[in-house]
Amino acid sequence: MRAIRVEKFGAPEDLILEELPAPKPEPGEVLIDVHAIGVNFIDLLVVGGQYQSLPPLPFVPGKEVAGVVAEAGEGVTTCKPGDRVMAQLECGGYAEQAVASGRYCYPLPEGMDFARAAAMGMVYLTAHFALAERSRLAAGETVLVTGATGGVGLASVQLARALGATVLAGVGSPGKAEAAKANGAHHVIDLAGGDLKDSLRDQVRGATGGGGADVAIDPVGGDVFDASLRALAWGGRIVVVGFTSGRIPSLKTNYILLKNISVTGLHLNDYFQRDPAGVRRVQEELFRLAAEGKIEPKVMRAYPLERFAEALNAVRERRVQGKVVLMTGRAARGIFPNGS
């Protein structure tokens, strides 16, 4: 099988596409014939050696795939050979075949194609846990989503709208405003202006009649986090999802005290380890919402497997609205008949 391998930590261009033996499932695991692979910001951190937990070199990166179960190890009850599934992995996804724990394989709803399924996992799970559990969002509240057209951002915009919230979408350029509105945002907040601390707060107050946002979902960090904190209403909640800006912000706790603000974090991997049944319940709920047309994974572009570096660089350079995916084998040939 073909696979992308990390021989040394570095840039996407340092990865190698090569032929490797097909992996073998152990008891409790399944072998998946991979059709589509989700490309995530976290993949850049892993490839660059910057993530908090890293597999030993060399390894195949990639944390989510969609495909068909080829073989099921002893004791697997969640799926069977021939099932169309989406799976979450610790690593190993950038390949034509991948092994996943049966606990983290989720049968696809009828009619969902592999590309959308590969875009339906990590970012939507993050958005759901951030909104429903960490921030305890209630219908009728106002949510500010920063980085609103990225993977987690766009999923959060769609899901917050589906959960009955008023959605303020923070975008870094005017060209992203239409995408935010098309995916459910009620108002667009410009994050590109000068004096962000004041401008973001003023825009949010203007959109909320002066009250501020009840909840902020922040995958950006840096100056955007600092400004979002000031834009919260009394008793507001902010969920730290990531730091795509590159700067991990510090916190002045006097402001939290004065406005009774709650600051919480979300590390999705912990839910896989501590509450796999809860993750399955949430993933099934997300599939149901997608089947009902209340959310829709947006695949901006699908790349053939050999163009992995282009896909990763699109994420790194913040050119992606929604998700990009990699396609393998027959699936890629159907999308790219001339190899383009």
Confirm if 20 and 5 have CB atoms less than 8 A apart: yes
Q: Which of 3, 190, 217 is nearest to 92 (CA)?
A: 3
Q: Is the dihedral of CA 4, 269, 242, 140 positive or negative?
A: positive
Euclidean distance between CA atoms 234 and 213, whole angstroms: 9
Residue 269 sits at φ, ψ, to 5 deg, of -60, -30
Give pLDDT, residue 338. 43
pLDDT, tens digit only, all 340 positions of the chain: 999 999 999 999 999 999 999 999 999 999 999 999 999 999 999 999 998 889 999 999 999 999 999 999 999 999 999 999 999 999 999 999 999 999 999 999 999 999 999 999 999 999 999 999 999 999 999 999 999 999 999 999 999 999 999 999 999 888 899 999 999 999 999 998 778 989 999 999 999 999 999 999 999 999 999 999 999 999 999 999 988 888 899 888 888 998 999 999 999 989 999 999 999 999 999 999 999 999 999 999 999 999 999 999 999 998 898 899 999 975 665 565 444 4
Q: What is the DSSP letter of 129?
A: I
Confirm if 154 and 298 have CB atoms less than 8 A apart: yes
Q: For residue 259, how many other CB atoms are within 10 A of its CB?
A: 15
Euclidean distance between CA atoms 38 and 261, whole angstroms: 34
**Distances from the Cα of 216 to the Cα of 12, 153, 227, 277, angstroms:** 32, 11, 11, 27
Give pLDDT, residue 333. 54
Beta bridge partners of 98: 32
Q: Is 329 left (phi over 0), alpha (psi -120 to 50) or beta?
A: left
Count of alpha carbons within 13 Å of 238, Cβ hemisphere only? 27
Q: For residue 45, how many other CB atoms are within 10 A of its CB?
A: 15
Euclidean distance between CA atoms 101 and 317, whole angstroms: 32
The structural domains of the chain, ordered by start, are 2-120+297-335 (3.90.180.10), 123-269 (3.90.180.10)
Confirm if 97 and 31 have CB atoms less than 8 A apart: yes
Q: Which amino acid is present at 197?
A: K
